[in-house]
Amino acid sequence: MLSAPMVQAQVDPTSSAVSEDSMFEALGTAGTSDAISGRVSIPNKNAGTLIKPDNKNWAGFQRGALPWIFVVALGGMVALLAAFYLIKGRIRVEHGFSGRTILRFSAIERFAHWTLSSTFIILALTGVNVVIGRSVILPLVGEAAFGTMAQWGKLAHNFLAWPFMVALVLIIIFWVAHNIPSKLDLVWIKQGGGLFKKGVHPPAKKFNAGQKVIFWSVVIGGVALSFTGYMMLFPLQAGTPSDWQLYQTIHGLVAAGLSAVIIAHIYIGSVGMEGAFDAMASGQVDENWAKEHHSLWVEEVKAREGQTVAGRTHPAE
Ligand code: HEM
């Protein structure tokens, strides 16, 4: 309510209150960046700004462009991966499984990864529901079911953001040292990661250039989502309503981009590459898989273990 404080003795509420007509008139004539503001007696002074003409652009973006950005980013990535799978098939372990394994990720690393990934997937699904649920799911399931679903989804989204952030900090601590870009990454990129030519296996340490891109996307995108999400949860911290809207816009765009990247990651970490999933399931990978995709890492592990011949190894990493 835009009005002068009602209780001050000297104030005549009728003469100092803003008339609705004059507010609507002001809205009609305001430029796109002019806000219509007044004074409010409640603690949230931001409430003194009546809907800005600008907000129409923001609301139009949230309901118009953003859902399409999601559809194009996620649908486009799925189509791209399907085409890659149909043309190239599954990336095989070229020399076959050796039967010898190497420990690639410890239990605590896998715990951090699965906490991060399970919370991210639920956050992504419940977030997508906020953006396109009304137009896609509501007509399919009806208002009652959609209402319940959206309510639980919103709760899950707000609460799972916290374990997501904890897991994000853990993977940064565990893996940042292995993800510093190096000259070796240029060789890997030049050879297309060996994805397009048989027999080509560019050397890589623990993480190759492609994985570094995934890691930094998750870190930068995850921090951006966490920060903007926090601001949306606590609007009084966010500054003006325009700042809040900016955070929401950034949150939506980063979520669409990171979700597309993660779809590619899930593909390559499961059906896309033979032998990869084991790294995050048991933590043990086949030695031939490791030599083909992370040859320098295998050498490092063996040197640390004092082994020069092939054998079952259990490095401390
Ligand atoms: C069902 C879903 C998922 C599967 C099957 C999966 C699988 C894997 C595998 C197998 C690895 C190890 C690759 C290696 O040994 O080099 C890995 C690494 C990783 N995962 Fe996932 N993952 C999933 C979801 C996610 C999600 C949702 C995130 C983040 C939000 C994530 C973030 C990472 C990161 C940052 C790494 C290290 C960098 C890399 O290897 O690309 N993962 N994942």
What's the pLDDT tens digit per position in 115-151?
999 999 999 999 999 999 999 999 999 999 999 999 9
Ligand 1 pocket: which of 205, 262, 265 to mutate (most atoms within 8 A of CB)? 265
CA 292 to ligand 1 centroid distance, Å: 18
Both tokens of 238, joined, read 């966010």
Percent of the chain, pLDDT > 90?
72
CATH node for 55-305 = 1.20.950.20
Residue nearest atom 35 of ligand 1, based on CA coordinates: 215
Instruction: List pLDDT tens digits, range 20-29.
Output: 777 667 666 6
Closest to 217 in 3D by CA, of 258, 163, 245, 164:
258
Ligand 1 midpoint to CA 56 (Å): 39
What's the confidence (pLDDT) of residue 22? 72
pLDDT top residue among 8 and 186? 186
Instruction: Give the side-chain half-sphere CA count within 13 A for 76.
Output: 11
Query: Which whole number is the average pLDDT over 253-277?
Result: 98
Where do the H-state alpha helices sit in 35-65? 55-60
At 195, is the pLDDT very low, low, confident or very high (cuts 50, 70, 90)? confident
Rounded distance from Cα 265 to ligand 1 centre (Å): 6
Pocket lining for ligand 1, CB < 6 angstroms? 104, 113, 116-117, 120-121, 171, 207, 211, 214-215, 218, 262, 265-266, 269-270, 276-277, 279-280
Report yes or no: 290 and 94 within 8 Å, Cβ to Cβ.
Answer: no
**3-class SS shares of the chain: helix, strand, coil, % to 5:** 65, 5, 30
Atom of ligand 1 nearest to the CA of 171: 35
The pLDDT-based confidence of 165 (bands split at 50, 70, 90) is: very high
Residue 172's alpha-carbon distances to 139, 155, 207, 215, 265, in angstroms, are 41, 27, 14, 9, 17
At 58, list the tokens: 């923001």
So what's the pLDDT on residue 166?
98
Write out the two tokens for 276. Answer: 């990869």
pLDDT-based confidence at residue 8 (cuts at 50, 70, 90): very low
Per-domain residue ranges for the chain?
Answer: 13-50, 55-305
- The model's confidence at residue 311, banded by pLDDT at 50, 70 and 90, is very low
Q: What does the pLDDT average to over 237-265?
A: 95
* pLDDT band, very low/low/confident/very high, at 184 (cuts 50, 70, 90): very high
Mutate to test the pocket of ligand 1, among 179, 280, 292 (most ligand atoms within 8 A of CB): 280
Q: Is the pLDDT reported for residue 314 higher than 50?
A: no
Q: What is the mean pLDDT of residues 281-291?
A: 98
Query: 103 φ, ψ to 5°?
Result: -75, 120
Q: pLDDT above 70 covers what percent of the chain?
A: 85
